Chains A and B, each alone.
Chain A
Amino acid sequence: MPDIRYNGRAYPLSDGQSVLECLIEHGVSVPFGCRSGVCQACLMRAETGHPPEASQKGLKPALADRNYFLACVCNPRESISVSLPCREGTRTPASIVGMELLSSEIMYVSLQPHELIEYRAGQFINLYQAENLARSYSVASLPTEDPYIHIHVRRVPEGRVSNWVHDALRPGDTVDIQGPNGDCYYQAGSPEQSLLLIGTGSGLAPLYGIIRDALAQGHTGPIRLFHGSRTPNGLYLTDRLRELTQTYSNFDYTPCLSGEPVLKGYARGRVHEIALSKLSDLKEWRVFLCGHPEMVKNAQKKAFLAGASLKDITCDAFTSHATFR
């Protein structure tokens, strides 16, 4: 039975257990977020032994080369000694410079990192509520046009971080952030390609960033955004997006509501079903899917069957572990 050695102690790893599960089971407090190998909040480093390849998926090569790994998806076959990355190396303090409620559920937060963070609109950062508690938020701002980093925080029922943002965080406060992470962003080089963007709830944040990035870089092909929610409270920036359709003839925006009531100006139904019913041939299209994991998964399949190549479909599913809100 392999051991996980951490801080001078050895913890036996049960069959099929991840390093993170093992440490938590033994009462060791380490940071984590999504528990799905996505958010990178549980980043650790192997001091001895090699982390399995699967636990390094999505890490920057520079980190993978130095034996960093994600504890939540690390199932080592042999004993390893692990440590937390030095705090200075990965986290940056940031000042809250602005906050605004965009709808009853969505809080816009503007952050000024204390050191330069190079990011692309659509990537995500981790926001720390406490030393060991982080959540991932996609970036809606554009580094070339906005002086600060913008995120949209949807209030999740019983969500520990989102409720803290809505109820306790105030402009002037300082928080820790880490990032950027992820490959959900606009890639220049095919300005005539058609873009389809489908999002639910605060999945609009990365899409809004990607759209502005594409337009700023002179994208000439059609850009079609479908934003969905059950109720109007989950939709936001509708006026701003309608304005954008006036300014750019190649940009098109369809807000969708899947629940009651039926409102004028909104399409009725599930957002990805509406999008795919309007666009039946996605051959050569670039597709971005952000938000609810079920929507992202279903839309990925439908987009592929409609002709989009898998490599041209970028998925950003908001994972949340039910017991770790």
Chain B
Amino acid sequence: MWDILVKLGTWNWLILGLMLLALELLAPGVFLMWLGLAALLVGVVSLIVNWMWQVQVIAFAAFALAAVPLWRRVAARNVAGPDSAFLNRRADALVGRVFTLEKPIVDGSGTVRIDDTVWRVNGPDAPAGSRVKVVRADGASLSVEAAAG
């Protein structure tokens, strides 16, 4: 077994990298991909540079650890907004909308009826029937201000 590994030499890395990538496809988890890429990288470098296997292993570990921050930097550079910006962020989706108060805002907090449910709002005191605009979402409540006009 060990003999075989030693005999294969550089190809070990390439074989390992491809196997890891295949495994990543079978069992999706983001980490196996980085290991596979690191193994392929080590293999390619080993074709050019002849280095000790211990060094190769350390390089593999270093590449694997470095791969994630590198990938994140690359990903951050071409940020495309997700298709649905407000998925699971219902409160944020309400920002900018104007609603009519059913009940007055007293002591800075009140309720507004939106989409057949009741939202807690925080804002300046206002009588019932006045219109308010949502300016910010704080968790499960909304910050409002008096709407113009």
Partners in one complex: no
A residues at B contact (CB < 8 Å): none
B residues at A contact (CB < 8 Å): none
